[in-house]
Chains A and B, each alone.
Chain A
Amino acid sequence: MTVAKEYLEYPLRRYGMDQNFYEWSLLVNRPKVTWPNGARIALWITTDLELFPLDQPAKPFKAPGGMVTAYPDLRHFTTRDYGNRVGIQRIWRLLDKYKFKSSVAMNSKVAERYPYLVKKINQRGDEIIAMGVDQGKLHFGGMDDATEIAQVTESVNTLRKLSGQPVRGWMSPAKSESWNTLKHVKNAGIDYVCDWVADDMPFEIKAPDNAGKLWAMPHTSEISDRKIIIDNKHSEDEFVEQIQDQFNGLYKETEKYGGRIMSLSLTPYISGLHYRVKYLDQALGWLASQKNVWVATGSEILDAFKKQ
């Protein structure tokens, strides 16, 4: 085998990024941000309400948390669905205890199947972020454009219709996008996306074909129960510790660099388990006891950021 001549050609070797989605910008060079009431940390708690279909396709890849065994994989289907039935109400009970708002990234299929959840979200004053149709309907490079437009439209329209919310945020299932996802979600009226984790603060991101600009919100893939407890297999104590360390690390730099966003990503079938809830209680209670924290939804944080 040999390497083609083009392998040593670098047409995008230039100042800034090698793509046209967003501009290069050092976080430390940006103006200081102040949050409402002088808060230093905007705490953005998100929960995922997901449906992993039994017939989830294996290609191009399976969303994390997806089916594992041969069909019908009832054990994974039901352990995931446990989060939508049992786990989420435990998380909500804790969020109520500390009067924390949250944003809920939701497959539109979950809203259709479980209207109760939509009602509860609206009662709590939480924000719905569109998370595609279900965890089997991925967005990925090379997918058919018409299929993607249909998936985006179904997700956003269904969630808007069932919740009455404007639905301004988008998170792709498995945070996977095609080359055109930004264009299609922009055309569907989405203001911000959660798939790009390049920053601790929002940054502008361009939809291709001059479809306009959106914001990339810093939805964490790190301070998440999926990453820390499932992928890394850390203990619940260590999950709490890393939440605290993240907060302390961000807080420390706010004096010099201005307000920061702390994103905490929770999955009901992971954090909502019996033996984990008390640790989540510890973490949320600790966060509630910190000074200068503003707990808000993604849209509220973005709006406050844009006003600066």
Chain B
Amino acid sequence: MLQIDDLTVRYRTPGGVLEALSSISISAEKGRTLALVGESGSGKSTVALAAMGLLPQEAEIASGKIVFDGRDIGAMSFEERRQLRGSRLGLVFQDPFSVLNPSLPIGEQVGEGLVHHRGFSKAQAFERAVELLNEVGIVNPQAVAKAYPHELSGGMRQRALIAGALAPEPDLLILDEPTTALDVTIEAQILDLLEQLRTSRGLTMLFISHNLGVVRRIADEVAVLYAGQIVEHGSTTEVLHHPVHPYSKGLLAAIPRIGLKQHRLAAIPGRLPDLRKPPSGCRFITRCPFATPSSDAPQTLRQVGERKVRCANAEPLRDTPWPRPEQVAEPIDLSARNQKPIVSVTDLTKTFRLGGGWRFDGWRPRKVETLLTPVNAISLDIRQGEVLGLVGESGSGKTTLGRTILRLIDPDAGTIRIGSETISDKPQRELEAMRRTAQIVFQNPDSSLNPRKTIGELLARPIERFGLVPKAEIPARVRALLDLVRLPAHYADRYAHQMSGGEKQRVGIARALATEPKFIVCDEPVSALDVSVQAAIVNLLADLRDRLGVAYLFISHDISVVAHLADRIAVMNRGELVEIGDADTVMNNPQHPYTIKLLSAVPRVDAAMQART
């Protein structure tokens, strides 16, 4: 159905020409699903845009061709390509929050392809849109069709997008990270929907994702993309269960797995090569633990058994696993952890008033209030050196709880004790001591690090503020902090934008550690990071806990990460704590229906392949 042959795409950037894709060849057969897997910067979204003929102006197809149903897309006129898009080729984007036009009703956006490709009238298209919305499992499709995007939840928007892409009945659907922005339960529903459509309509799918668990559920074939090259390509079972290329091995080893609690995750060290001057040899060489002098030579994608691998040493490496990480520090004495709690929260409640104000009820003004209680009578303890994992879907109140415990948000009711101090009833200016004991690591290191200050200044500030060491010793202390998070000392002179996402998050952690806290709220600290980087940060957090005895409230929507790191797990749903207990107990023997639902929705890489029809 779709065949991409030897495709090379280059982008003109201010820093020089960047080769985003180098000689990519893939093909998607009718009725099958091909997954493209890769981390950020691998070029996977460029493939989607190139196939749709939607590359931005600064991109250039240097060589290769894209053939759809026997016709070369590159040789078509602009108008022919436009006719093809939408009608035979559908594209579903990653972020349902920004790809729907905010000022057009959903029904119009779902049906407009029909108006332009199938000659429907607007009314007919709207009617068909309602049917399609119903088909993708939206309740009350009539009302939803008339609604605007901001009135819908993320899952509903993603369904509407899929409905819109499906409307003109395309032959090929390209899905670019279609479930990344969604909660696991919604993700599971969308994947089921896609699978059902594939079988009922014979749809061909090109599924682009970084999430191997999702890929395992949906794809027949997998192509692993690294730095613009395909490094391994084969059937889903083969690639995901017995990866051969070192990068595939590393990627799979880096994923925390439920029910397989290792002490440390395997991480892939280093970072992507600069694609403005790609290395002539193996592009993974600097990060590869198996690299040999011969890896310096150009590598070709060649047949190894049933699959294709871009590695000269593929055969000898076939059964060699990715090296298991060593334990860096001795874990702290576990018995010491059973001391009294460092954080103790009782009946904590926070209510927000939304859209409060005066409304007109006819001519009579009336006070209207919408209340939202993201934290509803929650009680929990966190002991010294303990990691309490907090899971729940978006909107469940995880972040609000974390911030309320630190008094970044003032609670409405309940008590919070940190250390021996009750802090829930103190005014902000008396929280000085608590601010030293309790710190926070934010989700997005891009927006939580001041872009105009060097890393050294950022780390020195809290030390100075609390007068932890004499002024002369501050630089030494900053170096020690950088060392603690395994960043070289010269990073003190860098600015945030000069570092990668993982490095920035290390700085975020160092900043939290600067005051030598006893308790840190980690609010989705790895959600913005790639899998291989995520593993390194999770390991770092585990090491720090073992070495310093810090307790964490580890908030994440990714249950596998929480299961890996946490001693105990708390599950939140709509502001309430539905289950809390020992990590193994909660994972293996969940009691609350919501926990069971949440756990069953998590896509797992190592589960047996689903029976495919």
Partners in one complex: no
